[in-house]
Structure 1
Amino acid sequence: MNHEPPERAAVAALAEEFLVSLREWIAIPSIGADPAHHGDVARSAHWLADALRADGWPEVAVWDEGPALPAVYACWPAEDPAAPTVLVYGHHDVQPVDPLEAWEHPPFAGVVVGEELIGRGASDDKGQVAMHLLGVRAHLAATGATAPAVTLKFFVEGEEESGSPHLADLLAGHTADLACDLVVFTDTPLYARDAPTVNTGQRGVLGAEVVFTGGTSDVHSGRVGGGIPNPATAIARLVAALHDADGRVQLPGFYADVVEPTAVERADYAALPFDEADWLAATAGGARAVAGEKGWSTLERVWTRPTAEVNGISGGYTGPGLKTIVPRDASVKLSFRLVPDQQPARIASALREFVAAHTPEGVTAEVRLRGDGVPPYAVDVTHPANVALYDAVQQAFDQPVRYSRTGGSGPAAVLHDVLGVPVVYLGATLPDDRIHAPNERVVLPLLLRGAEAAARLWRSLPERLS
């Protein structure tokens, strides 16, 4: 007697067709950051729209309006009009492939090597969007229904790899279409293949450049050195003052709004397999030691703690040999990773206050922000939708599941703020899938388990959210 769960059996029956379709989508080079490929982004959007229609989605549209690159919207109402409405968010644009010579296989061929599918977008994010399409088909096959147990909506944008510059406007312009009770965010990894996790949040980010200017030109250090302020020295002192001896950021009020992770989350982080030497070699670019804010583990530092990073310092003469000058100006580029409930605007204000306090007499300071920043987001782990998702993932992966977070940034907070509903995360890729790098890959069995988790989630949500 076959006791295989119906969702798993349905996914297995559809797996071969799923792979053929995903490879076809990957073949479209939808590089959103390159204007030369904007036509391919449009082709990618229409490919997805056609795939949704072929799956039976009754309402499908390509939103190609204003300056935004094309996004895809679809809706499949539940049979029960009282059922909750869930919006699945993802993106179909992909990163550039440079350097092309570093790829072992053509980046848009979708080559299968063992259990891996190699190609740009295989993991980030076409593979995970396709995983959710498969999850819907498996849900219908497993239940024998002609409509999902929840009203499902898909919103797949075309600008995430460019920072989603028009996302808020697009959401605001389609609030009626996108109205929902919950957002499921696809663009998220597991911690490891043998340690599946449910992500509960992403850090925000704010970028800035601080420029110190002294006189109107570089001047001879023998004639004036020691007699006027040196902008490069002043920048060095500002950078040195950015952190205290315990690694805490010294902007005024920097930690005032920080919400710490729960005890449950911290316990899960501590239980995850973490090898410091392996992490340094594989993830940290060969760094020789861990460092950061005192009192927190490495995973806690990169997932749940705010940071101030020096991205680069410049000023004066940096060419070969020696040029004895006091430079006219110097600058530092900074990025701040933010955690709930920090807001980019408040951190920008604190940065200006910090810079003003560290600008010496005779030097003028300018703070240049790189956009408005991206807010952080974290879901309450006890929210019924998050609990339902956790249970679905644990059932699909047949092993214990723990909570994790993502140190990078994404548009989850924008979705939450504009749509006014919680965001939960369901993805099935890995941190070492080489996204944004040559030889991007996805592990196919993980995508199939992710599709099974999605199918289980759609079945259980009506009861969990009632």
Structure 2
Amino acid sequence: MPTRRRRDRAGLLSTSVAGDSRHPERAAVAALSDSFVAGLLEWIRIPSIGVDPGHHADVRRSAEWLAGRLRADGWPEVEVWDDGPALPAVFACWPAADPQAPTVLVYGHHDVQPVDPVERWQHPPFEPVISGDEVLGRGASDDKGQVAMHLLAVKAHLEATGQNAPSVTVKLFIEGEEESGSPHLRKLLEDHGNALGCDLVVFTDTSLHERDAPTVNTGQRGVLGGEIMFFGGTDDVHSGRAGGAIPNPATALAKLVAALHDDEGRIQVDGFYDDVREPTAREREDYAALPFDEASWLANNGGGARKTFGEPGYSTFERLWVRPTAEVNGLHSGYTGPGLKTIIPASATAKISFRLVPDQRPEKVREQLEQFVAKHTPDGIRAEVSFRGTGVPPYAISPDQPANATVREALELAFDQPVRFARAGGSGPAAVLQALLGVPLVYLGATLPDDRVHAPNERVVVPLLLKGAEAAAHLWRMLAQAEIAKRLTDEPV
């Protein structure tokens, strides 16, 4: 295939295809790449930190920026939903010329994480810079880059097909609270259910396995987090006057934490694995075929850990993607300052979180943890268990689901190589979207696990975003094909 390399006005290398009628989407993406990068840089400059009330005005400004860009691109229906307690979300719709064509809803978010510790950034986080083929700045990967990628995809699709409207009705729903746990997402979906009605959800907040090993994500783990507190007396007491004569809540809590796993990492909460859905043989084959270098993975993802560890019988990817976890996120009790203070602390606290897999439910795991704590609370200790919210359910879709298979085919066209299925170890609102909208949800993103999201020096690889835009442009054309459209709308959720 004849290709030519060029350096665009932003200084980024991109690839365009000359004289190949099979890739009009690729040529259209390449032609639009300059304005795409310029727009992304402009959007990143808005510090839309949703978790910080001091930046809520910036979240509104970010929503208005996105709405303005959509109107400039020709989207006929654009709204900023700024009603009630939720931070502003953006909705847009571009109807297909054919009223019988499927309707696809693209989900993403425009709020970003805080930038602390700011001194670790190599450049100001909201003054994005270009380094080689990367854009660096807060939100470049998570999730402004991928939302902008889908805007580019619609433009490229129209350019490639010569149409005035997309082949499928495309809707966008870009919320402003994902980094806060989407606390008002259910209400937004309920209040705007008619506008959001669709046949398929495409979830953008996802990544590829590696730059040279593209994947389609088929699920995310759920999460439930909370605290366990043990109380002894009402005050810290002198260990010389009461030590050995009263229970120590720190010791008692340490024993509970130690009892949470066996020596091989299996979780010892009664009934915890009862509802766990095993991956299919096909999924395990795909995971095993993905490249994995333990030393490299530990260096980039393990926080300096010296070796991998986990439940026997499962690979590292399987432990990350399809097995549940129970993690102690923090322990605190008594005196932790310099020197020595000989006390028996009045209380001890453990912060704990679970990552859940299909078909586990947060409410059931909550009950199981409460029973586990009751079982491991000794006489003379009072226990309290509290939870942060109701938790996030897990989500997974079969690799054989028609829309999912079509996403993989679209990515293979864009990347010119085989694409395998994978899952994500983190959590997001996919299950909520799928349950309340009642349609299948698939993933299409083009970022990388080592993009340093939620950390200093976040980056995104622009050529991958361009590949993602090309894949989405292919997808809109492919989903409109009669056989795929029928299978999509007839397939049970």
TM-score, with normalisation over the residues of structure 2? 0.93
2:231 maps to which residue?
213
Q: Is 1:3 the equivalent of 2:20?
A: yes
CA–CA distance in 2 between the matches of 1:221 and 1:98? Answer: 39
* SS at structure 2 position matched to 1:24: helix
Structure 2 residue corresponding to 1:340, chosen from 341, 344, 358 = 358
CA–CA distance in 2 between the matches of 1:429 and 1:377? Answer: 20
Q: What is the CA RMSD across the aligned residues, in angstroms? A: 1.2
CA–CA distance in 2 between the matches of 1:239 and 1:162? Answer: 28
Shift of 1:328: 1.5
1:49 maps to which residue?
67
* SS at structure 2 position matched to 1:465: helix
2:250 maps to which residue?
232
Structure 2 residue corresponding to 1:144, chosen from 154, 158, 162 = 162
CA–CA distance in 1 between the matches of 2:207 and 2:228? Answer: 34
* SS at structure 1 position matched to 2:480: helix
2:485 maps to which residue?
465
1:324-346 CA-to-partner distances (Å, cap 9, x unmatched) read 33221112110101111111111
CA–CA distance in 1 between the matches of 2:297 and 2:40? Answer: 31
CA–CA distance in 1 between the matches of 2:183 and 2:348? Answer: 30
1:99-123 CA-to-partner distances (Å, cap 9, x unmatched) read 3232222322221121111111111
1:345-396 CA-to-partner distances (Å, cap 9, x unmatched) read 1100000000000011111110011111111111111110000000000110
2:20 counterpart letter in structure 1 = H
Shift of 1:248: 1.3
CA–CA distance in 2 between the matches of 1:423 and 1:32? Answer: 25
Q: Which moved more, 1:15-24 or 1:185-194?
A: 15-24
Q: Is 1:437 the equivalent of 2:455?
A: yes
Shift of 1:17: 1.3
Shift of 1:305: 0.7
1:147 counterpart letter in structure 2 = A
CA–CA distance in 2 between the matches of 1:216 and 1:35? Answer: 35
2:429 counterpart letter in structure 1 = P
CA–CA distance in 2 between the matches of 1:349 and 1:109? Answer: 46
2:215 maps to which residue?
197
2:221 counterpart letter in structure 1 = R
CA–CA distance in 1 between the matches of 2:231 and 2:55? Answer: 40
CA–CA distance in 1 between the matches of 2:196 and 2:49? Answer: 25
2:319 counterpart letter in structure 1 = R
The answer on whether the counterparts of 1:384 and 1:465 sit within 8 Å (CA) in structure 2 is: no
1:316 maps to which residue?
334
2:485 counterpart letter in structure 1 = L
CA–CA distance in 2 between the matches of 1:426 and 1:15? Answer: 19
Q: Is 1:294 the equivalent of 2:321?
A: no
Aligned pairs for 1:391-430 within 5 A: 391-430=409-448
2:244 counterpart letter in structure 1 = G
CA–CA distance in 1 between the matches of 2:70 and 2:237? Answer: 65
CA–CA distance in 1 between the matches of 2:111 and 2:456? Answer: 16
Identical pairs, percent: 70
Q: Is 1:185 the equivalent of 2:203?
A: yes
Q: How many residue pairs get matched?
A: 466
* SS at structure 2 position matched to 1:293: coil
1:45-101 CA-to-partner distances (Å, cap 9, x unmatched) read 111111111111111100001111100000111111111111000001111222323
1:2 counterpart letter in structure 2 = G
Q: 1:278 to 1:147 in 2, by over 3 A?
A: same
CA–CA distance in 2 between the matches of 1:24 and 1:429? Answer: 19
* SS at structure 2 position matched to 1:2: coil
Q: Which runs of 5 or more structure 1 residues have no equivalent in the other structure?
A: none
1:86 maps to which residue?
104
Shift of 1:219: 2.4
2:4 maps to which residue?
none
CA–CA distance in 2 between the matches of 1:237 and 1:113? Answer: 50
2:146 counterpart letter in structure 1 = Q
Shift of 1:315: 1.4
* SS at structure 2 position matched to 1:75: strand
* SS at structure 1 position matched to 2:434: helix
Moved over 3 A (4+): none
